[in-house]
């Protein structure tokens, strides 16, 4: 990515490189493999910085768990051809509806887990790292036991790179 005037190398806002793909009669935004790897690395640093978290594949997607049992975030690429690079995450009560109604381009009700108030967030349309960190920390707080959430709060949660 090219730096814009006034941007330092360390403080460049996240702007994913996109290319258009035509499928099923519509254009889709798809992030290249290098950008997906950088974004997944950021997600890993945030999620694995929270107390007692782990990562493993679940249904073929990188998924983050609390105490190895309860998932709180999944990272999906072109799930069943939907053209999205996105996370599906647990969300606080009422948040799914609020965000999907406010910005349906970026937020969506994910299949399979949407009925449990999980939220879909498109990473391929760009995001601020602190926005992503906030969603991941909220997802953790929804799923994790109260003592772990308190420990994360005392530790200052996960630092955003």
Residue 158, pLDDT > 90, answer no
Q: How far is CA 47 from the centre of its chain?
A: 10
The answer to whether 120 touches 83, Cβ cutoff 8 Å, is no
- Tell me the mean pLDDT in the region 102-123: 94
Q: What is the pLDDT of residues 118-131, one digit of tens each?
A: 999 999 999 999 99
pLDDT band at 29 (very low <50, low <70, confident <90, very high): low
Whole-number Å distance between alpha carbons of 155 and 6: 33
Report the predicted TM-score, pTM, of the whole model to 2 decimal places: 0.79
Give the orientation angle of helix 129-143 with respect to helix 146-155, to 10 degrees: 150
- Greater confidence (6 vs 111) lies with 111
Q: What is the pLDDT of residues 124-156, one digit of tens each?
A: 999 999 999 999 999 999 999 999 999 888 887
Q: Which two tokens stand for residue 100?
A: 């999907």
Q: How far is CA 129 from the centre of its chain?
A: 10
């Amino acid at each position: 990515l090219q730096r814009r005037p006034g941007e330092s190398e360390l403080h460049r806002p996240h702007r994913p490189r996109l290319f258009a793909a035509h499928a099923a009669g519509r254009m889709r935004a798809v992030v290249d493999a290098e950008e997906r790897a950088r974004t997944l690395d950021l997600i890993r640093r945030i999620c694995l910085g929270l107390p007692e978290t782990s990562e493993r594949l679940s249904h073929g997607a990188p998924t983050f768990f609390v105490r190895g049992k309860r998932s709180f975030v999944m990272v999906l690429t072109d799930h069943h051809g939907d053209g999205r690079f996105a996370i599906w995450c647990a969300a606080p009560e009422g948040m799914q509806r609020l965000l999907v109604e406010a910005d349906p381009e970026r937020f969506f009700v994910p299949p399979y887990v949407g009925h449990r108030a999980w939220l879909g967030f498109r990473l391929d349309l760009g995001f601020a790292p602190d926005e992503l960190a906030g969603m991941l920390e909220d997802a953790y707080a929804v799923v994790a036991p109260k003592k772990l959430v308190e420990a994360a709060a005392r530790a200052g949660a996960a630092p955003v790179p």
